[in-house]
A and B are shown apart, each in its own frame.
Chain A
Amino acid sequence: MGFLGGRYAIAGVGETDWSRQSGRTPLTLGLQAARQALTDAGMEARELDGFLSYSEGDSADGLHLASGLGAQPSYTAEIVGGGSSAEFLVATAAAAIEAGLCTSVLCYRAMNGRSGRRFGTQQDGGFSFDQIDPFAGFFSAQGMTTPAQHYGLIARRHMHEYGTTAEQLGAVALAFREHACGNPHAMMHDRPLTMADYLASPLIADPFRLLDCCLESDGAAACIVTSLARARDCRRRPVRILGAVTRAGGPHVYHYGLPSITEAAGQHVAPRLFGMAGLEPGDVDVAALYDCFSFVVLLQLEDYGFCKKGEGGPFAAGGRLGIGGDLPCNTAGGQLSEAYTHGMNNLIELVRQLRGTYTGSKRQVSEAEVGLCTGWGGPEVASGLLLGAGA
C-alpha cells in the first residue's frame, strides 16, 4: 500500500537564512542547507550518494554540491523548472533508491531569487518564459511576460464564474502572514498585516495586488530522502512518503484553449495521489499548498477536493487555513510570507509539523499525522506528495 510500499522517508531537513541579498553564491547557499539537513538527520555527508536539484539556470548542480560536501555521488540530476519540482525530486529520489541507483539522496533548491535572477521582471536579465516555453513569444509580444499576468487571466475568469472576491484572495495572504509572524525565520516575521493593508497594496497585474504575489528570496532549502529503515536510525522521527505524483497534467498544454480555464492540473494529481495512499482529503491534517500567488491556493483547495469547484474563496475566508483551522496551511508563512524557493521551504515546514517539532508552542498543528504538499508549475502541470508521521 502506498508509494513504493511506504518504504521511503524524509530523514532530514535544512535551510539557510532568507534574505534579499545573500552575498553568497547558490553553491555556498546549497552547501549550508545541505549541512543543516545532515545535522538534522544525524547523518554523515559521505552517506549521501544521490543529489537532485531543480533550477532555471540559477542554481548549483549536484556534482559541485557533492564535491563541496566531500561526498561521492552515484546519482545526480538537475531538472529544469520551478513549482512542482520539489515533490518531483522527493518522489524521484525514492524511486532511484528503490531501483538501486543510490541509497540516500539530497534534494535541494538554491537560488538568489532577489539579488540574482528574478522571476517577476525581465529587467536586469530576469526570468523569461522564452527560456522554457516554445509558445512564450505569443504572450511576450503582447506585454505578457510574467506568471502574475498569466494567473491574473485565470483569476479574473474565476471571479466572473464564481464570484470570488479580492477579500477572499486577501484572506490567504493574511493567514500566511499570521503564520510568518509566528516564525522568527520568516522574511515577513515582524510585519503583521490587516485586510486594509492588503486592499491598499498596489495593483501589479489586476486582479493581483503586490500582497497576492510571493516574495523574492535569496536562500536554499534541502531535504534528505532515504529508506524508512535508515530513517528510523536517524536523529528525528521519520516522515514517510505515502503518496507521490510527479508533474502530472492534462493531454494538452495550451491552458487558455481548455473548456474551463479555472481548473488546473491539480485535478489530475488528486485522485491518483489520494488513491495511491488510500486516503481522502478529509484525512489531511496539515497542508503545504504551493503559493506563488494567493489565488493559486484557492484553486488548489478546489482541485484537491477540500471544497467544491468555485468555493475556494469562501473556504479560505472562513479562517480554515490558520493553525487551529480545518486545514492549517503553509504554517511557516509560505512563499507569500516566509520565503520563495519554488516550494521547498513549504515542504520542509510540513515535515517539521509531522515530526511534532513545535510541540508545546502555538505553531504546532495538533495531531498532525497526514500532510499534503502540492506543487504548481502553472495551471498545466502539478505535483503532489502525501506524507505521514512515521513510526
Chain B
Amino acid sequence: MAEPAANARPEPRLDGLAAEFYAYCATGTLRFQRCEACGAWRHLPREMCPSCASSKWTWEASSGRGRIFSWTVTHRAPHPAFAADVPYAVVVVELEEGVRMVSGLRGLAPEALELDLAVEVGFESVSAEFSLPYFKPSVEGEPAS
C-alpha cells in the first residue's frame, strides 16, 4: 500500500463498524445503529447499546435532518490538508432520531451559525470507498437528499 501524501486529507480507518457506517454513506444514505431490544438509536457505532447493554442492533435510515447543537470554528489549521479551508466550522448536529453527530458544515458561512439551526445531511465523495457526510442548512419543505 502506498503511503498517503503528507498533506492528504485524513480518512477514517474503514474497518469494523466504521466500515459499515461509511459503506452506507458511500451510497448516499445516513444510517445509525438502532437497538433491537430497547429501540434506542446510537452513534458513534458500538458493539453494545449504551441504554440497555443489548448487543443486538440493526442499521436504520436516519431522516438526515437535525439541528445545530454546538460548533467550533477552526482558524488555524491543525493539519496541512485543511490549510486552504480556514476558517471552517465543525458542528455537533442533533438528529431527529436523537443521536448527535460531529460533522462538517457546507453552504453556510461559519459566522452565520446559530444554535438550533435546522440542517440536513449531504455527502462528498472523497474516494471510491469513502464519502464524507456533512450538514447544510435545511431547505424548508424539501426532503433531505
Q: How far is the CB of B28 from chain A (nearest CB, A)?
A: 17
Interface 9-mer from A7-15, A34-42, A254-262: A254-262
When A and B form their complex, what is the total count of cross-chain residue pairs whose Cβ atoms lie within 8 Å? 124
Task: Write the A148-168 contact mask toward B (1 if CB under 8 angstroms, else 0).
Answer: 110011111100100000000
Given A137-B10, A153-B90, A261-B92: A204 touches B102 (CB 8 Å cut-off): no
B50, A256: Cβ atoms closer than 8 Å: no
In this complex, the interface size class of chain B, counting residues with CB under 8 Å from chain A, is 35 or more
Q: Which of these, A123, A252, A261, contacts B79 with CB under 8 Å?
A: A123
A120, B78: Cβ atoms closer than 8 Å: yes
Alpha-carbon distance between A114 and B44 when the two chains are bound, in angstroms: 33
Alpha-carbon distance between A206 and B105 when the two chains are bound, in angstroms: 15
Alpha-carbon distance between A366 and B54 when the two chains are bound, in angstroms: 54
Alpha-carbon distance between A204 and B13 when the two chains are bound, in angstroms: 27
> Which DSSP category, helix, strand, loop or mixed, fits chain A's interface?
mixed
Q: How far is the CB of A264 from chain B (nearest CB, A)?
A: 15
A141, B9: Cβ atoms closer than 8 Å: yes
B50, A257: Cβ atoms closer than 8 Å: yes
Contact of B140 with A by CB under 8 A: no
Contact of A5 with B by CB under 8 A: no
Alpha-carbon distance between A325 and B87 when the two chains are bound, in angstroms: 38
Contact of A345 with B by CB under 8 A: no
Contacts of B44 in A (CB 8 A): 135, 138, 254, 257
Q: Which residues of A from 188 to 243 have beta carbons under 8 Å from B?
A: 202-208
B75, A256: Cβ atoms closer than 8 Å: no
Contact of A146 with B by CB under 8 A: yes
Contact of B59 with A by CB under 8 A: no
Alpha-carbon distance between A252 and B46 when the two chains are bound, in angstroms: 10
Given A254-B44, A254-B46, A257-B42: A204 touches B75 (CB 8 Å cut-off): yes
> Which DSSP category, helix, strand, loop or mixed, fits chain B's interface?
mixed
Task: Write the B88-104 contact mask toward A (1 if CB under 8 angstroms, else 0).
Answer: 10101000000111111
B42, A143: Cβ atoms closer than 8 Å: no
Q: How far is the CB of A3 from chain B (nearest CB, A)?
A: 31
Given A137-B12, A138-B18, A257-B50: A202 touches B76 (CB 8 Å cut-off): yes
Alpha-carbon distance between A326 and B46 when the two chains are bound, in angstroms: 44
Alpha-carbon distance between A149 and B9 when the two chains are bound, in angstroms: 17
Contacts of A203 in B (CB 8 A): 73, 75, 87
Q: How far is the CB of A250 from chain B (nearest CB, A)?
A: 9
Q: How far is the CB of B69 from chain A (nearest CB, A)?
A: 7
Contact of B39 with A by CB under 8 A: no
Q: Which residues of B contact A (CB under 8 A)?
A: 9-13, 18, 42-44, 46, 50, 69-82, 85, 87-88, 90, 92, 99-104, 110, 115, 126, 130, 132, 134
Q: 17 additional contacts, CB 8 Å, given A143-B85, A160-B115, A254-B44?
A: A128-B10, A130-B13, A138-B102, A139-B102, A141-B9, A141-B10, A144-B72, A145-B10, A149-B74, A154-B70, A202-B75, A206-B74, A206-B87, A256-B100, A256-B102, A257-B44, A261-B70
